[in-house]
Structure 1
Amino acid sequence: MTETIKHHLNDAVLMAYSAGTLPEAFNLMVASHLSLCDTCRAQAESFDALGGEVLEQMHEADAVALRPECLEATLALIAGGPVTTPKEDASQCAVLPKPLRDYVGGDLEAIRWKPIGMGVKQAILPTSKDASARLLFIPAGTAMPDHGHEGTEMTMVLKGAFQDEDDYFARGDVEIADSDMHHTPVADIHEDCICLAVADAPLRFDSLIPKIAQRFLRI
């Protein structure tokens, strides 16, 4: 599927993911994208390898004698299996990538949508408080309110597509927005759009009604 993905994660995000420094919500975003994208998965694996080499060199420089029980503990961890991001099977018909299905507990039928206006629905996912994660359902042709960003927001298309002033985003594509971006996403007219959106700060709306609703909708 990677040949259809045009908007990828950047190196800074992938390096932070490999280093384990991202918030839970952003980890969920990256893992979901990697399961769909060969390009980003290969880049993430290269950062993993680089980090492993650095740690090995540090270990050699600071080598100390280990207690005998350390070997048993390490073998027990290995027996538990590594935490990996598997490639999505292209033959599967699921809308949600596997890491997201595992997190939600199923595919679309497991999502508990709540309406937020104009036919748009959201499902806020339980994550750590340092960042939020939500699934968004946007009816075909519907425009989201004009908004900017107080921090970083990453949005990945799971079904359908949307476009804004910058580009067109389809399944697997990720848009990374920062405090310099101001846009009006519009779902493609041909199909309802479902996205995963994660953010480390509230959105900045221009219109009064979205500003009032923001507190209640946790956006």
Structure 2
Amino acid sequence: MTESGEIGPWSSGQSAGRHPQHHPSDALLVGYGAGGLGEGLSLAVALHLAACPECRAALADIQAVGGALLDDLPPEPLERLTLADTLARLDREGCAAPPRRRCRPEEAGTPDLLRPYIGSLAAVPWQRLAPGVRRAELLPRTARGGCAQLLRIAPGTALPHHGHGGLELTLVLAGSFSDELGRYVAGDIAEADGDVRHQPIADSHEECLCLIATEAPLRFTGLMGRLMQPFIGL
């Protein structure tokens, strides 16, 4: 990530000619295609799809299969509505499309999908969590305890070792990190569930910028992690 807040080639859906190597599971793509994921998880998957032609093709196949299955279902009788009924429903539900948000010049370099949440990466109000770790909230915590936020992790900095109370998706926007499962660079997505325990560490000379979306609070395993959890917000 540059000093201007831009994240380089990933913002155009490419990473120096490299396609992502870590992808969502088939089950996750099915859930995304069916609209069954929460907003934070969906945002992480959508950002990966923007960088990954392989997963875009896989999602198209999933949606084609789903469409074929729907075609095989017997048709349902259409509801009989008069013109007056239709106009009344439009008045109740509203039919005006929401205004499209124009991109300001200072938002250049920020992925399109993030602009509605943060505007520009260069203007994000980062909060210091610990030495070498800063965060910015994207979505408030849900009733179940899930959330979505951006993290900036300085080179060589490790997050506390932890498990998961539900699904956790980590989408790398810039830099890289490693954990017990592999190494992840820009465009890669890490998928961890309740069976996974790991300790991500920023492993390159540049800071790691990532989006983390969770279904439920993390389960920190060490004393320091448990003490920090109320402040980390994960």
TM-score (norm 2): 0.76
Structure 1 runs (4+) greater than 4 angstroms displaced = 68-74
Residue identity matched to 1:23: G
* Matched-pair contact (CA < 8 Å) for 2:19–2:51: no
C-alpha distance 118-22 of structure 1, shift in aligned 2 (>3 A):
same
Aligned to 1:31: 46
Aligned to 2:4: none
Post-superposition shift, 1:47?
Answer: 2.1
Bigger Cα displacement from structure 2, 61-70 vs 174-183:
61-70
In the TM superposition, what whole-angstrom CA distance separates every residue of 1:39-82 from its partner, at most 9, and x where no partner exists?
A: 11121122223333333443x532336536599999xx9x969x
What fraction of aligned residue pairs are identical, expressed as a percent?
39
* Matched-pair contact (CA < 8 Å) for 1:25–1:128: no
Aligned to 2:75: 61
The answer as to 2:204 corresponding to 1:180 is no
Aligned to 1:200: 215
Q: Which residue of 175, 186, 189 corresponds with 1:160?
A: 175
C-alpha distance 128-121 of structure 1, shift in aligned 2 (>3 A):
closer
The answer as to 2:152 corresponding to 1:133 is no
Aligned to 1:120: 133
The answer as to 2:118 corresponding to 1:100 is no
C-alpha distance 46-127 of structure 1, shift in aligned 2 (>3 A):
farther
Post-superposition shift, 1:14?
Answer: 1.0
Q: Which residue of 207, 213, 216 corresponds with 2:228?
A: 213
Post-superposition shift, 1:163?
Answer: 0.7
Counterparts in 2 of 1:138-149, with a 5 A limit? 138-149=153-164
Distance 1:215 1:143 in 2: 18
* Matched position secondary structure for 2:51: coil
C-alpha distance 36-71 of structure 1, shift in aligned 2 (>3 A):
farther
Q: Which residue of 183, 190, 206 corresponds with 1:191?
A: 206
Query: Which residues of structure 1 form unaligned runs of 5+?
Result: 82-92
* Matched-pair contact (CA < 8 Å) for 1:32–1:98: no
Distance 1:102 1:37 in 2: 21
Distance 2:97 2:141 in 1: 25
Query: Which residues of structure 2 form unaligned runs of 5+?
Result: 1-13, 99-107
TM-score (norm 1): 0.81
* Matched-pair contact (CA < 8 Å) for 1:160–1:171: yes
